[in-house]
Amino acid sequence: MNTAAVDGKKGRLEQAWEAAVGLVVGLRSTLRTMLEPKVTVIYPLQKVNVSNRWHGLLALPIDPETDNDKCIICFQCERVCPDRCIHIEATGKGKERVLTRFDIEMDKCCYCGLCVEVCPTEAIVFVPHYEASTYNRANLLYNLDDLHRAAPKEPIATGVVKVQGQIGSGG
Amino acid sequence: MSTDPKAIPRSTVLPLDRALEVIDALPGGGVILAKVEEVLNWGRAASVWPLTFGLACCAIEMMQFMATRFDADRVGIIPRGTPRQADCIIVAGRATIKIAPIIRRLWEQMPEPKYVVSMGSCATCGGPFYYDNYSILKGIDQIIPVDVYVPGCPPRPEALYEGFLKLQEKIRKEPFLRRRIGAAAQAGG
Amino acid sequence: MALRTEELILNMGPQHPSTHGVLRLIVTLDGENIVDAQPDIGYLHSSVEKMMEARTYLQNIALVDRGMDYLTAMANEEVWVLAVERLARIEVPERARYIRTIMLELQRISSHLIWWGTFGIDLGAFTAFLWAMRERERIMDLFEASTGGRLHHVYFRIGGVYEDVPDGWPDRVAEFCDYFLQRFPEYDELITGNPIFQARTRGVGVLPLEKAVAMGASGPVARASGLAYDVRKAHPYEVYDRVQFDIPVRSAGDCFARYEVRMEEMRQSVRIIRQCLEHLPQGEIRSKVQVNVKIPAGEVYARTESPRGDLGIYLVSDGSEKPYRVKIRAPAFSNLYALTEMMKGWKVADVIAILGSIDIVLSDVDR
């Protein structure tokens, strides 16, 4: 492509010719892009497939065999969290420990995945939900029931609920 | 009434409020107002123009939200550079204490009706920068009232999209004409 | 009678569509000519260095990729992990080193794409922004598939990387490289060869070589002024000593030279990625390191070439599981200092072109 600098010494005709060529080249580029397939995702009618490693919301899914979560109350996730947003309390001793409180402050969480990494039983995992916006900040404190449900606490906006198709690109 | 400027009683009641009173008093007036609000709210919700106040990492996801793949212009979102032309402010990223007066001033410069979207963990509550930190504001709702919180670090553009859909729902339900009726009566108009 | 003139102080405030983040520039103007330009920074100071003293070495990986330069999260993780590994003499398996290099070069491409897009949109070429974001989405899909995050990854660990890349990922990266190289002629057609763009950037904002060295500029800013220094060649880390690549150097020192250096760097990054994919070995990706590892007492300085320049971390350890002191040498901070030299004598309309061409990220400047 002609990349000569505009140095003012060219004649008017040459400058006009260069401007016309530049215009044609630019328009050609525009037309070519116009005829290419579109990359826009018409969210919320179409959604992008998130990869299966995506750091979405955290959850303690219920294991169908034991009908409870897999947490052994080892406190490793609470210790490794850089933002100190996991709060665990348990009563009892040894193997008889019972979980009384498992809160995760989703508004502080930075979704780094260190808690998922250190959990010895894979009790705490990422779920691919990411639509968790809310009007009220208190709704971002997820307690044990919310974590068992593995879904955002607040209902998703109505425009999103009717999804027509998925577009694959992640995962 | 005399025409001496000092003699005219100052009132914040506009002629609009008097008209609303009159319409409300008619039989079925409430329904008329509700329908008018529905149409006007539809227009307002479909063209929210945010002031993009991108501070840190969430600003990049906000830029991706407005760019090719998740086109924000489809729902009427056009980013404006000045608060005077914006009706929403997206605070994207961590707000330090040094920039807090600026955020407050920008919010005050926006004309009513205005909305605030807090994007990301840091704008919501300080996020990862909550503990052991001497310079980050622990949540922008300490200085301005927030309408929608979008959590994530950073939230995906689709998550911000859902946040905007929630904001649109909020705008659509807003009785911004009917709540002025009481104001007229209170001011003694 | 002589005409009395006054200098005007123009405040380009922290909220401005074209300052890349919250930078405040106090520009003193004589008519349209810039007499002086002082940056006022600190609007994004997040006390990262202090916070790092209260977190263990593993937790710091989550902090370091958002608290510093957020456009190149893995370059920050790399310099931190390199510092810790050097101090504790931890070996990194070969496959992990190759994966790290591929990730770093992909970050370089994505960071330069954002620079290209925002530079274009600052100068009025909106299309550049949209195209850059389109390309960047493909890179982010690659990152999401392997690390799980689009912008913040927390993927590197002390002793390797967190988990192996999924099957089929190297082929997707190769596909992306082919697609990306095809796009370059379009970019040149639309932006590089555009006479308006050339008029706004050629010869504008010249930084002479002595000034660049004196002010500590590094990265593409220094290489565009003639300094042939790249940390990847001078102090190689990871597998940079085993791959062939060139470092683009120009001598003009103007905005267009910086532009050319970065465009060429993107091409060289594709070249490095292709070589790494070819020689990617099988094997382990992580050495066994405890979660709360105690690093022996001592100090170390590790430096890497981030897309902004020479990024370094000076780490002092006292033998416990948390660092005693971390000092980050941020490249954008020194490049911003060089801005004060670059702006003098130009017109106020050139402020945006010059500011865009040095590619600063305020999170890197302020930390």
pLDDT in tens, A18-76: 888 888 888 888 888 888 888 888 887 888 888 888 998 898 988 888 888 888 888 99
Residues of chain B with pLDDT under 50: 1-2, 8, 189
Residue of chain B minimizing CA distance to A161: B162
Of chain C, the percentage scoring pLDDT greater than 70 comes to: 99
Residue of chain C minimizing CA distance to A39: C134
DSSP secondary structure letter of residue A4: -
Does residue A92 sit at the C interface (CB-CB below 8 Å)?
A: no
Cβ separation A39–B68 shorter than 8 A = yes
Residues of B in contact with A41 (CB under 8 A): 69-70
**pLDDT computed for residue B5 by the predictor:** 53
Which of A40, A109, A133 is the closest to B121 by Cβ? A109
pLDDT category of residue C367 using cuts at 50, 70 and 90:
confident
**pLDDT computed for residue B10 by the predictor:** 54
Average pLDDT, rounded, for chain C: 89
Average pLDDT over residues A116-137: 89
What CA–CA distance (Å, rounded) separates B80 from B83?
7
pLDDT category of residue A5 using cuts at 50, 70 and 90:
very low
Residues of C in contact with A3 (CB under 8 A): 192-193, 198
- Residue of C114, C63, A133 whose CA lies nearest to B157: A133
- Using the CB atoms, write b or e for B146-167: b if 16+ within 10 Å: bbbbbbbbbbbbbbbbbbbbbb
Cβ separation B154–C45 shorter than 8 A = no
Residue of chain A minimizing CA distance to C256: A5
Cβ contacts below 8 Å, chain A against chain C, sum to: 82
More confident residue, A169 or C156: C156
pLDDT category of residue C95 using cuts at 50, 70 and 90:
very high
Task: Using the predicted structure, report yes or no on whether residue C204 has a pLDDT greater than 70.
Answer: yes
- Residue of C358, C353, C336 whose CA lies nearest to C25: C336
Of chain C, the percentage scoring pLDDT greater than 90 comes to: 47
Does residue A125 sit at the C interface (CB-CB below 8 Å)?
A: no
Measured in angstroms, the CA of B115 and the nearest CA of chain C are apart by 18
Residues of A in contact with C198 (CB under 8 A): 3, 5-6
pLDDT category of residue C65 using cuts at 50, 70 and 90:
confident
Does residue A5 sit at the C interface (CB-CB below 8 Å)?
A: yes
Measured in angstroms, the CA of C56 and the nearest CA of chain B are apart by 13
**pLDDT computed for residue A17 by the predictor:** 86
Interface test with B, best of C66, C138, C143, C366 (most B CBs within 10 A): C66
List of residues 6+ apart from B161 with CB closer than 8 A: A43, A44, B65, B70, B72, B75
Cβ contacts below 8 Å, chain B against chain C, sum to: 98
Does residue A82 sit at the C interface (CB-CB below 8 Å)?
A: yes
ipTM of model: 0.86
Average pLDDT over residues A159-164: 61
**pLDDT computed for residue A4 by the predictor:** 45
Chain C, residues 130-189, CB within 8 A of chain B, namely 130-131, 133-134, 136-137, 140, 150-152
Average pLDDT over residues C70-96: 92
Residues of A in contact with C257 (CB under 8 A): none
- Of A40-49, C167-176, C277-286, C347-356, minimum mean pLDDT range: A40-49
Task: Using the predicted structure, report yes or no on whether residue C50 has a pLDDT greater than 70.
Answer: yes
Specify burial of residue C259 (Cβ count, 10 A radius: 0-12, 13-18, 19+): buried
Residue of chain C minimizing CA distance to B57: C70
Residue of chain A minimizing CA distance to B150: A133
**pLDDT computed for residue C324 by the predictor:** 93
SS (H, E, C) chain B: CCCCCCCCCCCCCCHHHHHHHHHHHCCCHHHHHHHHHHHHHHHHHCCCCEEEEECCHHHHHHHHHHCCCCCHHHHCCCCECCHHHCCEEEEECCCECCCHHHHHHHHHHCCCCCEEEEECHHHHHCHHHCCCCCCECCCHHHCCCCCEEECCCCCCHHHHHHHHHHHHHHHHCCCCCHHHHHHHHHCCC
Task: Using the predicted structure, report yes or no on whether residue C108 has a pLDDT greater than 90.
Answer: yes
Specify burial of residue C153 (Cβ count, 10 A radius: 0-12, 13-18, 19+): buried
Residues belonging to chain C: 367
**Omega cis (within 30) before C307:** no
Q: ∠ CA A145-A147-A148 to the nearest 5 degrees?
A: 65
**pLDDT computed for residue A1 by the predictor:** 37
Task: Using the predicted structure, report yes or no on whether residue C42 has a pLDDT greater than 50.
Answer: yes
Interface test with B, best of A107, A136, A154, A158 (most B CBs within 10 A): A107
**pLDDT computed for residue A161 by the predictor:** 61
Cβ separation C46–B68 shorter than 8 A = no
Please state, in angstroms and as integers, the Cα–Cα distance from residue B3 to each residue in B6, B10, B55, following that order: 9, 13, 52
Measured in angstroms, the CA of C234 and the nearest CA of chain B are apart by 31
Strand partners, C157: C160
Residue of chain A minimizing CA distance to B159: A131
Residues of B in contact with C134 (CB under 8 A): 67-69
